């Protein structure tokens, strides 16, 4: 599977600001050696399905994402950036920066570190996604509400990542999640109860659609039904919630194949805002935009709505994928475009940092933990 995505909270920048940080040279053609997997690390892409979600700890909504290669539950998760348009119209609110994140913890604990200025200005000052990767039904509503209410109080849009689908990561390093689909449905109900009434972006279950080859046809159909239901529940709980579905990334499945999977999971329905790609991966932004548009076209041909959009994880794709396909904290990478709701690209609703730059895939630190040296390398 592909590398896992690491979600961390970065400070918010004004919505609408698109800052290209080393994105010009991100068009490499190397294929990722493995797919992203959820845990608390980063995610890289490989020729086969890529997985990219993080696992969050059972307490705080911190941003700990899965690791690039194998996903494993990690510390709690955090916040990302929202999507740009609803019903084809650009949003006006900015992205929310959740105050609880590993990078901000590190800044508070290291006031004199020489790397602090770069990390603070280029990583901690950007909004990142908030992951909920642990199966903790008793606390999920209050944890989600803490994020959404904090965002609403500031007039900002939070990005949330539910990551508790059963058989997550095909039992790999980021395995875990709810014990079964009935329990997952109840967990989603409780998650939805915390959404509030403000604008919210939900990146629903990274790798849950692209990474299903390990499931039997019956289990795959049951998962898709559960994801379709999840979208309906989230949208019904708060009509201002924009739910995006897993499209993998541009070097995983062919657009028509991915669209067929998305269609079965409800991604073309009234509950959907569109698709997301490149979570915890390194694919070039231009490649992802082209791929996402082809997926959206194919989804529409299957009966999906014509006003759906896409969001792209640009947290670590500034230099594109490594030529050798390395997925685990590869050297020579850079942060990509800053999170924003104003991409200037048709059908691209937002650039988001779903994986927090500096949260390790497991090679420069324990999976999902923040590595200041890695963050500095990505940001300088």
- Cα(358)–Cα(213) distance, rounded to whole angstroms? 30
Tokens 């700890």 appear where? 57
Written as one string, the DSSP assignment of 297-312 is HHHHHTT--TT-EEEE
Of the candidates 339, 335, 343, the one whose C-alpha atom is nearest the C-alpha of residue 317 is 335
From the list 134, 167, 287, 361, the catalytic residue is 361
Respond yes or no: is residue 361 known to be catalytic.
Answer: yes
The SS3 call for residue 270 is: coil
In sequence order, which residues have a C-beta less than 8 Å from that of residue 154 and are 6 or more positions away?
Answer: 96
- Cα(101)–Cα(169) distance, rounded to whole angstroms? 24
In sequence order, which residues have a C-beta less than 8 Å from that of residue 226 and are 6 or more positions away?
Answer: 165, 181, 184, 185
Respond yes or no: is residue 207 known to be catalytic.
Answer: yes
Pairing between β-strand 85-86 and β-strand 89-90 as defined by DSSP bridges? antiparallel
From the list 169, 292, 313, 349, the catalytic residue is 169
370 Ramachandran zone, left/alpha/beta (phi>0; psi -120 to 50): beta
Handedness of CA 242, 293, 280, 286 (dihedral sign): negative
Output the CA–CA distances (angstroms, integers) from residue 3 to 206, 211, 295, in the order listed: 11, 12, 21
- Cα(122)–Cα(99) distance, rounded to whole angstroms? 16
From the list 207, 287, 292, 329, the catalytic residue is 207
Residues with catalytic annotation? 169, 207, 361
């Amino acid at each position: 599977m592909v590398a896992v995505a690491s979600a961390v909270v970065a400070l918010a920048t004004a919505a609408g600001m698109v800052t290209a940080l080393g994105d010009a040279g991100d068009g490499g053609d190397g294929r990722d050696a493995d797919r992203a997997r959820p845990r608390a690390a980063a995610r890289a892409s490989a020729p086969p399905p890529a997985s990219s979600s993080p696992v969050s700890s059972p307490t705080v909504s911190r941003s700990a994402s899965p690791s690039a290669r194998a996903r494993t539950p990690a510390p709690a998760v955090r916040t990302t950036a929202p999507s740009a348009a609803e019903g084809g119209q650009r949003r006006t609110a900015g992205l929310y920066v959740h105050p609880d994140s590993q990078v901000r913890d590190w800044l508070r604990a290291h006031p004199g570190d020489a790397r602090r200025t770069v990390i603070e200005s280029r990583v901690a000052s950007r909004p990142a996604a908030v992951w909920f990767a642990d199966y903790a039904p008793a606390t999920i509503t209050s944890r989600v509400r803490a994020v959404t209410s904090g965002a609403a109080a500031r007039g900002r849009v939070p990005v949330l990542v539910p990551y508790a689908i059963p058989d997550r990561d095909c039992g790999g390093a980021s395995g875990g999640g709810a014990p079964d689909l009935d329990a997952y449905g109840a967990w989603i109900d409780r998650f939805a109860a915390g959404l509030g009434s403000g604008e919210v972006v939900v990146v629903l279950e990274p790798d849950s659609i692209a990474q299903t080859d390990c499931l039997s046809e019956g289990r795959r159909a049951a998962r898709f039904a559960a994801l379709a239901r999840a979208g309906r529940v989230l949208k019904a709980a708060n009509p201002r919630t924009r739910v995006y579905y897993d499209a993998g990334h541009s070097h995983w499945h062919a657009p028509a194949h991915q669209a067929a999977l998305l269609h079965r999971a409800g991604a073309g329905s009234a509950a959907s805002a569109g698709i997301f790609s490149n979570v915890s991966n390194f694919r070039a932004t231009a490649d992802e935009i082209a791929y996402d548009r082809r997926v959206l076209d194919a989804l529409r041909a299957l009966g999906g709505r014509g006003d759906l959009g896409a969001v792209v994880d640009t947290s670590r794709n500034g230099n594109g994928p490594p030529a050798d396909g390395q997925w685990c904290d590869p050297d020579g990478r850079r942060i990509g475009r800053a999170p924003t709701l104003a991409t200037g690209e048709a059908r691209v609703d937002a650039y988001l940092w779903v994986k927090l730059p500096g949260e390790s895939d497991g090679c420069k630190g324990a999976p999902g933990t923040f590595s200041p040296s890695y963050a500095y390398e990505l940001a300088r």
